Structure 1
Amino acid sequence: MKYIGFILFTVMTNAAAQLMLKHGMMTMGPLSFAGVNPILKILQIVFSPWVFFGLLTFVISMASHLFVLSKVELSFAYPFLSLAYVAVAVFAYFVFREDLNALRIAGIAFICVGTVLIAQSGRAHDEPATVSSPTVQTSELTR
């Protein structure tokens, strides 16, 4: 649980990147490659402000995730990324007025429960494992 802050930072930057990319693509309008050089169109997309900062935020998120992976087990850290879906769904509902129906809410609840269960099960690599062994007195060794 020592690195939970870094894990949540990774999740939130991942979600923020998704929201920025969505906003950027909405401001560009419908995409059409008809009569346009595809490479120029891709560059136009990548260098539009919201898309560019969304991609930059993904890089920050990935750097944070790499740090997390150096400290905790993959099977512990990776499921937390599903919380990005939760954040994106909630923010998309409020910001973009996207649908958040009962089935999506149920799915979000399952994701949250599963993440809590995983959070309760994990520990970092550098945290020593506690091994309960009976203490032996030195006088007992000489017998």
Structure 2
Amino acid sequence: MNPISLFCILAGVTLNAAAQLLLKAGTNAVGHFEFTRANILPIGWRLATQPPLIAGLACYVVSLVVWVVGLSRVDVSIAYPMLSLGYVVNAFAAWYLFGEVLSVQKLVGIGIILLGVVIVARS
């Protein structure tokens, strides 16, 4: 994999991870909710007007474009497993930004993911 291809794949992964974090920040601003017939429009509007949520959706759009460029250069059997790096990024970012717990079990899982990505990338 050449540097430009790697950049496209990693940029797609990073943008996808950022989108998830921004969506979480947007829903945190709204708070816990449930959609019912009575509140679907007010809650939908509150969600649709949250700047972090809008930014998260924009990250998804850009990540899709970058991902398609990356897929045009890299075998999907190599590129797709790289998406799992987003789990690693999000676990640490959620711990740092939102105070989510990083248990030993999660850290072991992250280690397994990283080992799997290395094995696939070297194949």
Structure 1 unaligned spans of 5+: 122-143
For residues 58-105 of structure 1, the C-alpha deviation after alignment (integer angstroms, 9 at most, x for no partner) is: 111111111111111111100000000000000111111101011100
Q: Is the helix fraction higher in 1 or 2?
A: 2
* Alignment equivalent of 1:54, drawn from 53, 56, 66: 56
Partner of 1:108: 110
Of 69, 82, 85, the match for 2:84: 82
* Aligned counterparts of 1:67 and 1:39: Cα–Cα separation in 2: 37
* 2:26–2:50 Cα contact (<8 Å) kept: yes
- Where structure 2 has 5 or more consecutive residues not aligned to the other structure, the ranges are none
Code of the residue aligned with 2:13 in structure 1: it is: V
Q: TM-score, normalised by structure 2?
A: 0.90
Query: In structure 1, what residue type is equivalent to 2:75?
Result: E
Per mean C-alpha deviation after superposition, the further-off stretch among 27-36 and 16-25 is: 27-36
Distance 2:48 2:63 in 1: 18
Segments ≥4 residues shifted beyond 6 Å: none
Give the structure 1 partner of residue 67 of structure 2: 65
Larger Rg: 1
